[in-house]
A and B are shown apart, each in its own frame.
Chain A
Amino acid sequence: MAKGIWVFAEQRDGKIKKVTYELLSAGRGLADSLGEELCAVLFGKDVAGIAAALGEYGADKVYVADNDKLAEYTNDGYVSTLADLAKANEPSAIFFGYTAVGRDLGASLAQRLATGMVSDCVTVKAEGGQLVFDRPLYAGKAFVTASCPEARPAIAAMRPNVLAINEPQAGKQAEVINVEVTGDIRQIVKEVAMAISSRPELTEASIVISAGRGVKGPENMKLLEDFADALGAAVGCSRAVVDAGWYPQAQQVGQTGKTVSPNLYIACGISGAIQHLAGMSSSKCIVAINKDPEANIFKMADYGIVGDLFEVVPLLKEELQKILA
């Protein structure tokens, strides 16, 4: 058996991030077609207990570093430990989510190991013994197909929410291998403040309700938040809404904000500037609500409603609630 496909299993407070299951699900198929084993790498504090269960999503082995030093993510602590682990075991590929942690860790690791990294990938397949990726350029205005043909490990950061999650095999346990923490940590984490929200994270949500200039003011965001809560959705917005100070920058979707790929994206009062479309065009289904029948967003929406969002949103919410009831 060759060296292995690795998945960095991102967690916070002992809860595995959804993208980890997406990576394991895709990784399982790739490992099988390349004749390699699938390994997860799990770092943190008090995480040993959740390691073996990664087997349910396909991991054969889990490398676990459960240590006080890794309680909070730091670039130095995670990069050193992972780089030493990779040098000792020589995996053929390491997958990360294209998340704040995955980008920070993946790029640093790639330089430490003098290898290539393909970021924000939306597809991956095994072809002629190589992993081949598709990724956007110019926020999706073009795409590139790329591989890392020689340097090992090939590193990839996959966009969250684009890979399907396999049905977990209940009770299947992975072999757990404990790992030493190495290196000095120069970053001091003074404080971590998680936004208190009952809504799913924007990049992981399966439904996103998004607001544009058409909401007219911050007081009307409540209407969209209520709509989102009725569907278990996240709330996003366009750049215009952030620049006007109506909603936080962290919720901006677009070329200078987040890229999202939900099953359903409902654009409310968004005209559809090219920079916004770049951040949501990989959504599986797009609904647009806009007063202006000429709005650009209708050119790419699967379903468009020409009308006032203040009238349409409460009605659509009611109709969808009826279906979901």
Chain B
Amino acid sequence: MKILVLVKQVFDTEAAIKIANGKINSDGITQIINPYDEFAIEEALKIAEANKGEVTIVSVGSNVDQTVRQALAMGANSGYVVEDAALADADEYSVATALGKAIGGMQYDLVLAGWRAIDDGSAQVASRVAQALNIPLVNLAIKLEVAGGKATATTEIDGGTAIIEVPLPAVVTCQKGLNEPRYPSMKGIMQAKKKKIEKVGLDAIGLDAAAVAAKVKTLNIYLPEARAAGKVITDEPAVAASQVAKLLREEAKVI
């Protein structure tokens, strides 16, 4: 069984965001594997272990080696990165189109990914990749079984859960609760140094800059106005509760 995991490199969740020259400044920021992608990596490794499978990490971006290497240290077999200057202003369409073309030339039974990335939170790329590959999509898996050429996923829906079965190959996105991602072992970290990360440009996968031109245009990036601290009441509980109830009614008008 060949499993591909789509991995995105993102800023650490602790990172404070700074803007320079109209762009997000990444100087000095720790980069990590998108936390939702860690669930996908873990699930891929579990399925591969049970089925004598192979796991390939697939990513788009520049300077993502360290992040891909981290996934290899968890136990994935190899890495594949699409890196091209023409993807500098990529949107979800660009990335999914590149991934679709790259993956289209590979052998695979299952594509796993985090359901969204914590940076732009747009939750689009994996769904778009399923379209690009014309294979079935299942989003938000919190339980996954792969057997007999099928994937059966328990998925989160608004207000409940649904169990969805699809034939393989398929794209399944992973939600928190699916598993507990492992930490790389020392042995894993050492082995990862020798594992192969293949790098390709757009021309190698039969695309050019025009084919991946972004559809969405960024007009402005800005920091939100800090929420002003409000009234903090330190009176005894009964007085404080009564005051806040009154303020919610008369000042905030939310009750």
Interface residues of A, Cβ cutoff 8 Å to B: 12, 17, 72-76, 79, 99-101, 103-104, 106-108, 110-112, 114-120, 132, 135-151, 186-195, 197, 201, 203, 207, 231, 249-250, 252, 255-257, 259, 263-264, 274-275, 281, 284-287, 293, 298-308, 311-312, 315-316, 318-320, 322-324
Q: How far is the CA of A20 from the CA of B24 in the complex (A)?
A: 33
**Are the C-beta atoms of A141 and B121 separated by less than 8 Å?**
no
**Are the C-beta atoms of B160 and A195 separated by less than 8 Å?**
yes
**3 nearest interchain CB pairs?**
A116-B215, A319-B245, A119-B122
**Are the C-beta atoms of B124 and A192 separated by less than 8 Å?**
no
Q: B200 at the A/B interface (Cβ < 8 Å)? A: no
Q: A144-B220, A150-B215, A323-B245 are contacts. A110–B16 as well, Cβ < 8 Å?
A: no
**Are the C-beta atoms of A136 and B122 separated by less than 8 Å?**
no
**Are the C-beta atoms of B131 and A186 separated by less than 8 Å?**
no
Interface residues of B, Cβ cutoff 8 Å to A: 11, 13-17, 19, 24, 35-36, 91-93, 96-97, 116, 118-125, 127-132, 136-140, 142, 152, 156-167, 176-177, 214-224, 226-227, 229-234, 236-238, 240-242, 244-249, 252, 254-255
Q: How far is the CB of A142 from the nearest CB of chain B, in Å?
A: 5
**Are the C-beta atoms of A308 and B215 separated by less than 8 Å?**
no
**Are the C-beta atoms of A117 and B240 separated by less than 8 Å?**
no
**Are the C-beta atoms of A142 and B216 separated by less than 8 Å?**
no
Q: How far is the CA of A302 from the CA of B13 in the complex (A)?
A: 25
B residues less than 8 Å from A192 (CB atoms): 157, 160-163
Q: How far is the CB of A159 from the nearest CB of chain B, in Å?
A: 10
Q: How far is the CA of A231 from the CA of B222 in the complex (A)?
A: 36
**Are the C-beta atoms of A111 and B255 separated by less than 8 Å?**
no
**Are the C-beta atoms of B162 and A249 separated by less than 8 Å?**
no
**Are the C-beta atoms of A263 and B159 separated by less than 8 Å?**
no
Q: A72-B162, A132-B219 are contacts. A319–B127 as well, Cβ < 8 Å?
A: no
Partner of A320, one of B116, B156, B248: B248
**Are the C-beta atoms of B139 and A103 separated by less than 8 Å?**
yes
Partner of A190, one of B120, B164, B240, B242: B164
B residues less than 8 Å from A203 (CB atoms): 158
**Are the C-beta atoms of A187 and B165 separated by less than 8 Å?**
yes
* A/B interface sample: 26 pairs, CB < 8 A: A75-B138, A101-B157, A103-B139, A110-B92, A142-B19, A142-B222, A143-B224, A144-B220, A144-B221, A145-B220, A147-B216, A147-B217, A150-B215, A187-B165, A192-B157, A193-B161, A249-B176, A256-B176, A286-B227, A293-B234, A301-B230, A303-B231, A303-B232, A303-B233, A320-B245, A324-B255
B residues less than 8 Å from A312 (CB atoms): 237, 240-241
**Are the C-beta atoms of B158 and A117 separated by less than 8 Å?**
no
A residues less than 8 Å from B160 (CB atoms): 192-195
Partner of A315, one of B125, B131, B238: B238
Partner of B216, one of A116, A143, A207: A116
**Are the C-beta atoms of A188 and B165 separated by less than 8 Å?**
yes
B residues less than 8 Å from A116 (CB atoms): 91-93, 214-216
Most buried by B among A99, A188, A293: A188
Q: How far is the CA of A316 from the CA of B241 in the complex (A)?
A: 5
Question: Considering only CB atoms, which chain A residue lies closest to B231 in the complex?
Answer: A303
Q: How far is the CA of A264 from the CA of B242 in the complex (A)?
A: 17
Q: How far is the CA of A249 from the CA of B115 in the complex (A)?
A: 15
Most buried by B among A187, A274, A284: A187
**Are the C-beta atoms of A305 and B244 separated by less than 8 Å?**
yes
Q: How far is the CB of A298 from the nearest CB of chain B, in Å?
A: 5
Q: How far is the CA of A315 from the CA of B19 in the complex (A)?
A: 44
B residues less than 8 Å from A264 (CB atoms): 248, 252, 254-255
Q: How far is the CA of A143 from the CA of B213 in the complex (A)?
A: 22
Q: How far is the CA of A263 from the CA of B248 in the complex (A)?
A: 11
**Are the C-beta atoms of B166 and A186 separated by less than 8 Å?**
yes
**Are the C-beta atoms of B241 and A110 separated by less than 8 Å?**
no
Q: A107-B124, A119-B123, A255-B13 are contacts. A190–B247 as well, Cβ < 8 Å?
A: no
Q: How far is the CA of A318 from the CA of B240 in the complex (A)?
A: 12
**Are the C-beta atoms of A300 and B237 separated by less than 8 Å?**
no
Q: A148-B215, A190-B165, A263-B254 are contacts. A100–B127 as well, Cβ < 8 Å?
A: no
Give me 18 other A-B pairs in contact (C-beta within 8 A), A73-B157, A298-B232 excluded: A75-B136, A75-B137, A100-B139, A100-B158, A103-B124, A103-B139, A110-B215, A111-B128, A114-B93, A143-B221, A147-B217, A191-B163, A201-B159, A281-B227, A286-B230, A287-B244, A305-B232, A312-B240
A residues less than 8 Å from B16 (CB atoms): 141
B residues less than 8 Å from A263 (CB atoms): 254
Q: How far is the CB of A240 from the nearest CB of chain B, in Å?
A: 14
Most buried by B among A195, A274, A285, A308: A285
Q: How far is the CA of A118 from the CA of B218 in the complex (A)?
A: 10
Q: How far is the CB of A165 from the nearest CB of chain B, in Å?
A: 16
Q: How far is the CA of A307 from the CA of B237 in the complex (A)?
A: 7
A residues less than 8 Å from B17 (CB atoms): 137-138, 141-142
